[in-house]
Amino acid sequence: MTLEEKKQEVVDEFAMFEGWMDRYEYIIELGKNLDAYPEDRRTEDRLIKGCQSRVWLDWELRDGRLEFAADSDALITKGIIALLLDVYSGRTAEEIAADDFSFLEEIGLRENLSPTRANGLVSMIATLRRAAEETLAGK
Amino acid sequence: MTVEELRAQFPILSSQVNGRPLVYLDNAATSQRPASVVECWEGMALRTNANLHRAVHALAARATDRYEQTREFVRHYLNAAAREEIIFTSGTTGGINLLAHSFGEAFLQEGDEILIAECEHHSDIVPWQLLAARKGLKIKVLPILDDGMPDLSALEGLLSPRTKIACIAQISNVLGILNPVGEIIRTCHAKGCAVLVDGAQGIVHGKVDVRALDCDFYVFSGHKVFAATGTGVLYGKKALLEQMPPFLGGGEMIDTVRFSGTTFAPLPGKFEAGTQDFCAVPTLMPALALAGSVFADAELQRSGEEVKAYVLDALRRNPRIRLFGDPADPARKVPLFSFCVEGAHHEDLALILDKMGVAVRSGQMCAEPLMDRFGVTGMLRASFAPYNTLREAETFTASLEKAIDMLT
């Protein structure tokens, strides 16, 4: 599935939810089911510190694609991370660097991503992008 | 006055967020503003807008009158001895920065000490750290006990002849406890140490009498006690303020200016450099008048106690909730509750509560040393004002239960 198709799939899925509660319950479920983050990589240099929630993000380049692993101490943030990883992990650096992440607004998560919330998620997206840009620069 | 009558004075309280009636429980961050304050603010801008003290025209005279009338009003409200003791600032942070600079310049020498309570807001820590770094001072910390009370048994031992000022919140913005500032002030004075009381939360929960307290300095922000944003007051004993050099230099704080040297205006002008927020400052009058009448109103006090007792009981009864600031004597507690929920992150809880129309604060609340003290990365805080009803308190506890269910 291309990145565009995958994003559309998520948008369609969220369109089925009636209200915020369904949406949050789904995200919380995603958070609970996120693959365990490797404990040996739960280190200061992988920590993205927000004012409220903490996010750990690690990545590696495998066969020309960026594979991400991430975690958060807050469950809603963790659920959104799971969503992001589902969409962006395994994509090329070119694809990620060219993306504007605006589909998160389409699925009603805009307020969770507002920089004024000063949470780890905003920094996480910036770090995803940085991972892509650094990978491209390294080529 | 009934709570409903009080609420009717605050237009925003009847609004909705996320399709639900707003339940505003972030009053410790800022209070809502009554129509009287907004009208005063607007009236100043629309009808009385002129810069202070400088011009002879009628409008400037009127604006200056309102400004100086406010100073007298605040002096009377705080029961300060003289108008020269009331300095208008941009808020609590502005007041403490002024004090840290000017008190530091006047009275502190290398090797001197500053005592700061562990529960202080960053605004009552960082200005002192900056001063300490500039002048080679030592900062000592008055510890907070498990129940949130300051450790008075440690106080005397912390005060040396070199401890020149002690800084303590009247009520911590996290713990919601009326600190025993009277006792702290007496102990400090006996050791020759001045005391700053940070009244950012204290001014909100009861009438303040600076002479009865005998504090040397008292600071507060207008916006937490119904007044306009950008207003604040530094009270200081005249004998101390007179010995302190100015903080900011500029217009209105001077006597004569020559390139060969400048002399400064007498108090309070010495500490009020530049154009003041003359439209906002007069709102302290309707704001403090309202606060004063709330504190004197038996019905509102009864309703406030009822809300406090209800929330305190609900939080204490939930075994998953760890409440910070839970003194043995409930009279010491104000309706400001910070807590953690086992298995649920404060940010998640705040996000879900917001969806239910309940505005609370989550995070470190500008008190990282206190977060470290209790070994947590953040807390959830619900802070009530006299206009919050028991019904809202019930909505809060029911919404909290629901949020916890969703997350665990």
State the burial class of residue B288 (Cβ atoms within 10 Å of its Cβ: 0-12, 13-18, 19+): buried
Query: In CATH, what class is B3-32+297-407?
Result: alpha beta
Question: Is the ipTM here above 0.95?
Answer: no
Cα B271 off chain centre by: 20
Q: Which tokens sit at A93?
A: 């650096």
- pLDDT higher than threshold 60 for residue A118: no
- Best mutation target among A23, A25, A30, A52 (most B Cβ atoms within 10 Å) is A52
pLDDT in tens, B61-73: 999 999 999 999 9
- pLDDT higher than threshold 60 for residue A114: no
Residue A139: per-residue pLDDT: 61
Q: From the candidates A51, A63, A116, A139, give the one annotated as an active-site residue.
A: A51
Residue A103: per-residue pLDDT: 84
Query: Which of the four pLDDT bands, split at 50, 70 and 90, describes residue A106?
Result: confident
pLDDT in tens, B56-115: 899 999 999 999 999 999 999 999 999 999 999 999 999 999 999 999 999 999 999 999
- pLDDT higher than threshold 60 for residue A116: no
Q: CB neighbours of B144 closer than 8 A, spacing ≥ 6?
A: B117, B118, B119, B150, B151, B175, B370, B373
Q: Please state the domain extents for chain B.
A: 3-32+297-407, 38-290
* Contact state of B406 with A76 under an 8 Å Cβ cutoff: no
Q: CB neighbours of A69 closer than 8 A, spacing ≥ 6?
A: A35, A37, A38, A41, A57, A58, A59, A85
- pLDDT higher than threshold 60 for residue A83: yes
Is residue B84 a contact partner of residue B238, using CB atoms and an 8 Å limit? yes
Three-state DSSP class for residue B144: strand
Q: Which tokens sit at B4?
A: 């409903």
Q: CB neighbours of B396 closer than 8 A, spacing ≥ 6?
A: B23, B25, B311, B353, B358, B360, B382
Alpha-carbon distance values, B321 to A114, B201, B337 (Å): 29, 24, 11
> Is A51 tagged catalytic?
yes
A17 has a chain B CB within 8 A of its CB: no
- pLDDT higher than threshold 60 for residue A115: no
Q: Is the dihedral of CA A12, A18, A23, A29 positive or negative?
A: negative
- A15 to chain B nearest CA, in Å? 18
> Which residue on chain A is closest to B366 by alpha carbon?
A51
Residue B56: per-residue pLDDT: 86
Q: How far does chain B reach from its first CA to its final CA, in angstroms?
A: 42
The stretches in chain B having pLDDT less than 50 are none
Query: In CATH, what class is A3-138?
Result: alpha beta
Domain B38-290 has CATH 3.40.190.10: no
A33 has a chain B CB within 8 A of its CB: no
Longest dimension (CA), chain A: 45
Query: Which of the four pLDDT bands, split at 50, 70 and 90, describes residue A50?
Result: low
- In angstroms, the CA B212 to CA B214 distance is 5
Residue A18: per-residue pLDDT: 84
A75 has a chain B CB within 8 A of its CB: yes
